[in-house]
Amino acid sequence: MSDDAGRTRVSEVATEVALTAEEGRPAVEERRPEQEACAGRRVVLSTHQLTKDFKGLRAVDHLDLSVCEGDVFGFLGPNGAGKTTTIRMILGLIYPTQGHVQILNHRVPDQRLDALRHVGGFVDVPAFYNSMSARRNLRILGRMSGDVTEARIDEVLEMVGLSERGDSRVGGYSHGMRQRLGIAQALIHRPALIILDEPTSGLDPQGMKDVRELVRELGRQGTTVFLSSHLLHEVEQVCNRAVIMDKGRIVVEGPVSELRPARMSVKFLTSDQPRAAEVLGRLLGVGSIAESGAESLRVTAGDGLVPEMVRHLVAEGIDVRAVVPAVEQGLEDFFLQLTGASSEGNDQ
Amino acid sequence: MSHLRREIVKVLFQRRTYVGWAGLLAIPFIMTIALRLSTEQPSEGHGPPFFSSIASNGLFVPLAALAFLSFFLLPLVSAMTGSFVIAGEAETGTLKTLLTRPVSRSGVLLAKWFVAVLYVGVGLVLVGVGGALAGWLLFGVQPLTTFSGGQLGIAEALRLTALAYAISLVGMACIVSLAVALSTVTDSSLTAAVGTLVIVLILQALGQFSYFDFLKPYLFTARFEDWFNLLRQPIPWRPIWEALLVYSGYIVVLVGVAVAVFRRKDILS
């Protein structure tokens, strides 16, 4: 199912995909009621018809999403999808043109101050007072959200691996250290919701790994995390639920475990590619067919179709030397399919 | 109070804070040393106000420094200080860091405005104290002859000098307020500072033409020398109160505009 605004629920994507095999892209149907998303868990963050226009350009378009308590929620989308604008609205930095955000029982922007007491995070590149130490930055920023002890400052510095540099001026910090400090300042007042905007951006591989492990650990501890990223595998690694956004709208949402189509790609090794393609193309449920190497066809279709495809090829007298799984279609392909579909939809 | 404490700490941790204050402290010393070493002293009616009197009484140094700096350098410092309030933090990205915390935008802006005025105030104290010290060391001090020909004791002269500085601070607060207002509509502190200076210079220019005399009572820039009245006997308080009223009007309106704009501003930087 998908909503009238073009959103697709992940769990339904597989079915949709099989039915729209010619395009190889998920279909768009009706909306899932927002309340269903948390299934009994408390909704920590939700947006309601959230919309933002900038000088005639719609950056976020009637966005409805909900993040449940304990979720590590992936907020995916390509550059310009409206992720950062959405986060800015959640954090009360910019005013929605329409709609509102709800953080626990507080509406943003109307009850921004009450809402922000429960939120920690950063948007874009975390920025600090360069002439001060990390410790002093944390002290200043943390105390804006409540009482913060020196022990807590030590604790978050330890968590992000900055203990040894906590007393150094932030002006001398590398990009990666600033990202870590950004996470530390998000955590300092033990908020119910942590919002991280591309936290691994600019980090080296080890830094990325550390940050992802930290986010996973936060999730294990029951902290609700809203993680914006354009790195699909990152979301796959650390999140339990996700939405994919494009051009200001959600194009798919649901559990990350389902965030891939049920179709699979297989390679048929055959010497008669044109005829094999013709035969397979006549079968209902077969998706894309493409030549893949000299004697191989890459075919996308549901799992159950493979035996039938083989039978048809053999019946037509076409040699099938082997059928092998193609490299598994990952989130990257899926993401491109979805955002590609969205682009086409908008172009029309 | 927490807003104020935070803003004060931030200012005290910036190197440019001390560079600015050091520059302001140096000016009366440089001025006094230059006059002391000069073979030709400025004659009556020539040069900046009070300069010709310095050689006879070091108490005139802080007054001369104030009159001299009020024309351009103090407005420049005030404009730069005020312009950094919002636009400067937007440039460095710390504005968004600040505003993702549960803090009132009005409270943040008012605290920043106050600390910017406080910064200029400390600068003025340094100029005044530095001027008095330099004047005492290089020319000595004695009872001060007023415009009316009477004399003021040293303590009374210093008290009136301090009052002159306080009145000037309120005048400079107008410039800070203008810069703060402009800094809420741009994300460039340089644009806000230049914009402020351009407006101040235009207002000063308007005050120079008799055609615009009808405007003069309402131009805060035309009030920068009203503290001279403190050196008359008896002191004509009316122009001084009028100046303070005009200053206050500008401050209230400009800070009000700044608060109104900032409360609804989209923080995109």
User: What pLDDT shows up at residue A126?
Assistant: 92
Domain of residue B223, residue span: 2-264
Q: Is B1 on the interface with A (CB under 8 A)?
A: no
Give this prediction's pTM. Answer: 0.81
Q: How confident is the model at residue B162 (pLDDT cuts 50, 70, 90)?
A: very high
Question: Does residue B269 fall inside a structural domain?
Answer: no
Residue A266: pLDDT band with limits 50, 70, 90: confident
- Domain contains B14: yes
pLDDT at A2 over 80: no
- Which among B14, B103, B267 is the nearest to A131, CB-wise? B14
The reported pLDDT for the residue numbered A327 is 55
**Which pLDDT belongs to residue A27?**
36
DSSP string across A208-258: HHHHHHHHHHHHHTT-EEEEEES-HHHHHHH-SEEEEEETTEEEEEEEGGG
Contacts with A, B 104-163, CB within 8 Å: 104
**Is A95 touching B (CB cutoff 8 A)?**
yes
CB contact (8 A) between residue B100 and residue A92 = yes
Mean pLDDT of B47-68: 86
Q: Is the pLDDT of residue B6 over 60?
A: yes
Residue B102 sits at the chain A interface (C-beta within 8 Å)? yes
Residue A257: per-residue pLDDT: 75
Closest CB from B96, B97, B102 relative to A113: B102
Of B9, B101, B267, the CB nearest to A94: B267
**Which pLDDT score, from 0 to 100, does residue A295 have?**
81
Residue A32 has pLDDT above 50, yes or no: no
Nearest-CA residue of chain B relative to A113?
A: B102
CB proximity A135 to B under 8 Å: no
Query: Closest-CA residue in chain B for A93?
Result: B267
What is the overall mean pLDDT for chain B?
92
Is B74 part of a structural domain of the chain?
yes
Least confident of A4-8, A246-250, B119-123: A4-8
Establish if B52 belongs to a structural domain. yes
CB-closest option in A122, A130, A132 to B100: A122
Residues of chain B contacting residue A119, judged by C-beta atoms under 8 Å apart: 100
Q: Which of A4-18, A300-314, B136-150 has the highest mean pLDDT?
A: B136-150
The answer to whether the Cβ–Cβ distance between B103 and A113 falls below 8 Å is: yes
* C-alpha to C-alpha distance for A346 and A251, rounded to whole angstroms: 12
User: Residue B173 falls within a domain, yes or no?
Assistant: yes
Number of domains in chain B: 1
Report chain A's mean pLDDT, rounded to a whole number. 82
Question: CA of A109 to nearest chain B CA: how many angstroms apart?
Answer: 10
Residue of chain A with shortest Cα separation from B9: A140
Q: What is the 3-state secondary structure (H, E, C) of chain B?
A: CHHHHHHHHHHHCCHHHHHHHHHHHHHHHHHHHHHHHCCCCCCCCCCCCCHHHHCCCCCHHHHHHHHHHHHCHHHHHHHHHHHHHHHHHHHHCHHHHHHCCCCCHHHHHHHHHHHHHHHHHHHHHHHHHHHHHHHHHHHCCCCEECCCCCEECHHHHHHHHHHHHHHHHHHHHHHHHHHHHHHCCCCCHHHHHHHHHHHHHHHHHHCCCHHHCCCHHHCHHHHCCHHHHHHCCCCCHHHHHHHHHHHHHHHHHHHHHHHHHHHHCCCCC
Looking at chain A, which residue has its C-alpha nearest residue B265? A94
Of A124-128, A179-183, A290-294, B217-221, the one with minimum mean pLDDT is A290-294
What mean pLDDT do residues A176-191 have?
Answer: 93
Most confidently predicted of A305-319, A334-348, B196-210: B196-210
User: Nearest CB to A116: which of B6, B101, B268?
Assistant: B101
Q: CB-based contact (8 Å) between A110 and chain B? A: no
* Inter-chain touch B96–A113, beta carbons under 8 Å: no
> Is A10's pLDDT higher than 70?
no
Kindly report, residue by residue over A137-183, the tens digit of the pLDDT: 999 999 898 888 999 999 999 999 899 999 999 999 998 899 999 99
Averaged pLDDT for residues A287-299: 79
Using the beta-carbon criterion (under 8 Å), do A117 and B13 form an inter-chain contact?
A: no
What mean pLDDT is predicted for residues B238-242? Answer: 95
B13·A95 Cβ contact <8 A:
no
CB contact under 8 A, A116 and B268: no
pLDDT at A22: 35
Residue showing tokens 């600390």: B115
How much is the pLDDT for B202? Answer: 94
Give A208 to chain B, closest Cα distance, Å.
Answer: 22
User: Measured between CA atoms, how close is A201 to chain B, in angstroms?
Assistant: 17
CB contact under 8 A, A128 and B94: yes
Is there a contact between B94 and A119 if contact means CB atoms under 8 Å apart? no
Segment A208-220, tens digit of pLDDT:
888 999 999 988 8
The pair of structure tokens assigned to A313 is 């090829």
pLDDT tens, A54-96? 988 999 999 999 999 999 999 998 888 899 999 999 999 999 9
Higher-pLDDT residue of B37, A168: A168
Question: Please, which residues bridge with residue A166 across strands?
Answer: none
What is the complex's ipTM, to 2 decimals? 0.84
B114 in a structural domain: yes
Element at A12 (helix H, strand E):
helix A10-19
Contact between chains at A112 and B14 (C-beta distance less than 8 A): no
Structure confidence at residue A261 as a pLDDT band (50, 70, 90): low
pLDDT score recorded for residue B227: 93
Interface of B with A in 7-36 (CB under 8 A): 9-10, 13-15
Quick check: A124 and B99 CB within 8 A? no
- Please give the residue of chain A at the shortest CA–CA distance from B14: A131
Disruptive mutation site among A140, A141, A170, A228 for chain B (greatest number of B CBs within 10 Å): A140
Q: How confident is the model at residue A53 (pLDDT cuts 50, 70, 90)?
A: very high
A112/A267: higher pLDDT:
A112
What is the Cα–Cα distance from B166 to B169, expressed in whole angstroms? 5
CA A149 to chain centre: 34
Whether residue A31 is predicted with pLDDT greater than 90 in this model: the reply is: no
Nearest chain B residue to A195 by CA distance is: B100
- Contacts (Cβ under 8 Å, ≥6 apart) of B24: B69, B73, B77, B123, B124, B126, B127, B130
Band (A114; pLDDT cuts 50, 70, 90): very high
